[in-house]
Amino acid sequence: MGTAAVADGGHTLSDHVRLANDRFKDVAVAVSEGYTPIPCAGGADGGAMGVHYVNASLIGDSVDIERPQAIMYEPKTDGKMELIAVEYIASKGPASLEGQLFNFTNAPNRYGPGPFYELHVWAWRSNPHGTFADMNPTVSCDQAPAK
């Protein structure tokens, strides 16, 4: 599960992520910074991660809080995309951000690349499964554009 650990002065990692990435509330900003969408990722047991806008050029050995490798949006009925979370991805590990360890994803995996380390941060949408869980039962792909 996981909760947002207090990083400093009472601010959590999710607070820091939100402050560093609020510009992505407008999906056009993500596109202008080189992020491209991949299909909405739903869970077999319900819930979803949403539509990931990924900037593959940022995937490497380290991460920068202000430049997540993926930005996650929930598609809405009016066609707009609501910012819900970001995902940090590192090719080497063990990886961490402000002391929060990343999850290891082995290969083969549904995403295609070799093994990697990832950390979802649900900074704009509460996740009953935890701030750093992969799937969020309050997120849906129901309104996602057809693949």
Domain range enclosing 99: 6-121
- For residue 7, pLDDT beyond 70: no
pLDDT digit string (tens) for 81-110? Answer: 999 999 999 999 889 999 999 999 888 776
Q: Per the domain annotation, does 63 fall within a domain?
A: yes
Asked whether residue 136 is assigned to any structural domain, the reply reads no
Number of domains, the chain: 1
Q: What SS3 string covers 46-97?
A: CCEEEEEEECHHHCECCCCCCCCCEEEEEECCCCCEEEEEEEEEECCCCCEE
Residue 140 counted as domain residue = no
Residue 22 maps to a domain: yes
- How much is the pTM? 0.89
Any domain includes 11 = yes
Torsion-angle region of 86 (φ positive above 0: left; ψ -120 to 50: alpha; else: beta): beta
What pLDDT, on the 0 to 100 scale, is given for residue 66?
97
Note the pLDDT tens digit of each residue in 17-66: 999 999 999 999 999 999 999 988 887 777 899 999 999 999 999 999 99
- Could you tell me if residue 143 is inside a domain? no
* Residue pLDDT, tens place only, 103-132: 998 887 766 668 899 999 999 999 999 999
